[in-house]
Structure 1
Amino acid sequence: MKLAGLKSVENAHDESIWAAAWVPATEARPALLLTGSLDETVRLWRPDELTPVAPPSKGHALGVVSVAAHPSGAVAASSSLDSFIRVFDIDSNASIATLEAPPSEVWSMQFDPKGTILAVAGGGSASVKLWDTSSWQLVCSLPVPRPEGARPDKTGSGKFVLSVAWSPDGKKLACGSMDGTIAVFDVARSKFLHHLDGHYMPVRSMVFSPVDPRVLFTACDDTHVHMYDAEGKSLVGAMSGHTSWVLSVDASLDGAAIATGSSDRTVKLWDLSMRTAVQTMTNHSDQVWSVAFRPPGGTGLRVGRLASVSDDKSISLYDYS
């Protein structure tokens, strides 16, 4: 397996780009890349040319820190430091809903595989918020308990929830916190199941394997990438190779590889059979905030694509084969 650099777009936004997600293809169009920036805008990009589909979309009063695409490919959401989530139509850019959360209560978010729930990492509320996508009403708030025997947290920072990930069957939800704890929930029962141990610094990104709903990958400021059995509560593997914070992780669709982005300015490709980094890409000149593999679908498109975005305001696109 390998990555090959295809295209980079410099100054894709006016400020740092912190978020990227692929919008699945529809019958009318191919998959699109969605990016969010501290310049308060989101942009849509054509999948191979990386040319903008439309002018930047405004709607936030502060920087955009997370974007998520509905599995239908018709709807997306962006969350901002202004504590609002904007839900909008991909093709018309019309606003569908505005979801409000108290200050610093919105960080990362993800639609469940069926598209019925939007899960939002609730920041300082120490919870994960679940929004119904038919009514855009808040239906549940899952409090994240502190681990047994955890040291007293006098600052409250440890409860800050940074990242969320759905299992591919939609039954489980994992979230990562500032103190390195990872909580796993049974969503149907709104029940906390257990913690996953091993990290002691902020867990900024996580993703389940697309081929095994038990396997969870996590990216942490401790420079490590962990591979967990999320059901058996066990750490399966710890992968090291970055020299600074690991800010983002995503899994390839074939389940054979993961990609990571780091504040060491690199993108790494990891072979999961060997549990080691097999390639390091140095396209970016500043920290890499997000990496995302493109979903299948659309005519005339190569399946294997990876995108990365950075504080250097650029987007890079790679061929994955």
Structure 2
Amino acid sequence: MKLSGIKSAESCHDDSIWAAAWVPPSTSRATSLLLTGSLDESVRLWHSDDLSSAAPPSRGHSLGVVSLAAHPSGSLAAATSLDSLVRVFDVDTAASVALLEAAPSEAWGLQFNPKGTLLAVAGGGSATVKLWDTATWQLVDTLAVPRPEGARPDRPAPSGIPTGNFILAVAWSPDGRRLACSSYDGSVAVFDTARAKLLHHLSGHHMPVRSLVFSPVDPRVLFTGSDDSHVHMYDADGRSLVAAMSGHAGGVSSVDASPDGAALATGSADRTVRLWDVGMRAAVQTMANHTDHVWGVAFRPDTSGAGTRAAGRLASVSDDRSISLYDHS
């Protein structure tokens, strides 16, 4: 497996780019598009072949955009911001569809479930994950995320710095039966979504886990990236740590799995993107296109149904305000 650089575009936003997500084709659009979100409070849409702008910047938040998610239909997307709001919008027109209030806490990572019927949002300092019905945009459940048994008490921290059970990211299993969420203390909680019940915690990291993703082909396999610079592979049902992979010289801020489940991409504070062979459980390539912290990596979903590795494409975004596009083969 290999990454080949296709294009890098500079000054894509007016401030750091913290989020990237692929929008699948829709009934009105035959191609995938790339969404990026920035601390400049905007979301931008890009063509997937040459990173040319697909639409003017979309605005609606009063603080920086920290996470993005696309609905499986390809027609809608959602953005979270430091203003504690979730904005749902039409991808092609940028028109707002819903504005969801996460207050009194924050809204961080978010993801639609595979059927597109629910939107899960990490609730930051509220120690919860909120679930919204995408047909009505009503809040249907709030999952309380307890601290793991035997967890150390929170250490005092400077004002404004989260500690302990601060929920940073969420991930749905490909069958929609499990929802995983990660915390600032390094723990990962796994829920049974049908019963809205906490099943267990996964341990191994001792610093914030900022990103996690299930394998697209195996609902038991969960990957996590942490500020401790390690990437973990878990059996999410068996509660076991399958592999701990190292190689980054800084914290891992983003992790994503290729559509065929054979590869993993990570973005790091060390300014690099790494490609990992899941079977070998080792890094096989390092890309140094960016000059600052890489906050987001995202594989383009395979919508052809072929499941081939040749269809792969990867995007990365950074504090340096650039976007890089790679071919994955």
Q: Are 2:36 and 2:45, in contact at CA under 8 Å, matched by a contact in 1?
A: yes
Q: Point out 4+ residue stretches in structure 1 off by more than 6 angstroms.
A: none
Is 1:225 the counterpart of 2:226 in the alignment? no
1:37, distance to aligned residue in structure 2 (A): 0.2
1:103, distance to aligned residue in structure 2 (A): 4.8
- Offset from partner CA, 1:123-174 (integer Å, 9 cap, x none): 0000111011001011101011111111122557111000100000000000
Instruction: Give the AA of the match of 1:15.
Output: D
Partner of 2:148: 147
1:296, distance to aligned residue in structure 2 (A): 1.9
Instruction: Give the AA of the match of 1:170.
Output: G
Instruction: Give the AA of the match of 2:176.
Output: G
Is 1:315 the counterpart of 2:323 in the alignment? yes
1:303 is aligned, of 298, 307, 311, to: 311
Partner of 2:97: 96
- Offset from partner CA, 1:160-212 (integer Å, 9 cap, x none): 00010000000000000000010000011010000001001000000000010
Distance 2:265 2:135 in 1: 33
Distance 1:78 1:140 in 2: 19
1:264, distance to aligned residue in structure 2 (A): 0.1
Distance 1:104 1:202 in 2: 18
1:262, distance to aligned residue in structure 2 (A): 0.1
Unaligned runs of 5+ in 2: 157-161, 305-309
The TM-score, its normalising length taken from structure 2, stands at 0.95
Partner of 1:210: 216
Partner of 2:159: none
- Offset from partner CA, 1:90-124 (integer Å, 9 cap, x none): 11111100001115420100000000000000000
SS in 1 for 2:164: helix
Instruction: Give the AA of the match of 2:251.
Output: W
Partner of 2:4: 4
Partner of 1:169: 175
2:262 is aligned, of 243, 246, 256, to: 256
- Offset from partner CA, 1:248-268 (integer Å, 9 cap, x none): 000001111100000000000
Partner of 1:286: 292
Is 1:115 the counterpart of 2:116 in the alignment? yes
Distance 1:144 1:243 in 2: 30
SS in 2 for 1:159: coil
Distance 1:138 1:20 in 2: 25
SS in 2 for 1:214: strand
Task: State the number of aligned residues.
Answer: 318
Distance 2:68 2:197 in 1: 26
SS in 2 for 1:157: coil
Instruction: Give the AA of the match of 1:266.
Output: T
* Cα 1:166/1:251, change in 2 over 3 Å: same
The TM-score, its normalising length taken from structure 1, stands at 0.97
Instruction: Give the AA of the match of 1:163.
Output: A
Unaligned runs of 5+ in 1: none
Distance 1:86 1:20 in 2: 15
Q: Are 1:81 and 1:104, in contact at CA under 8 Å, matched by a contact in 2?
A: no
Partner of 2:307: none
Distance 2:250 2:199 in 1: 31
SS in 2 for 1:88: strand
Q: Are 2:83 and 2:106, in contact at CA under 8 Å, matched by a contact in 1?
A: no
- Offset from partner CA, 1:41-98 (integer Å, 9 cap, x none): 0000001111111110110100000111000000000111011111001111111000
Partner of 1:199: 205
Q: Are 1:165 and 1:206, in contact at CA under 8 Å, matched by a contact in 2?
A: yes
- RMSD of aligned alpha carbons: 1.1
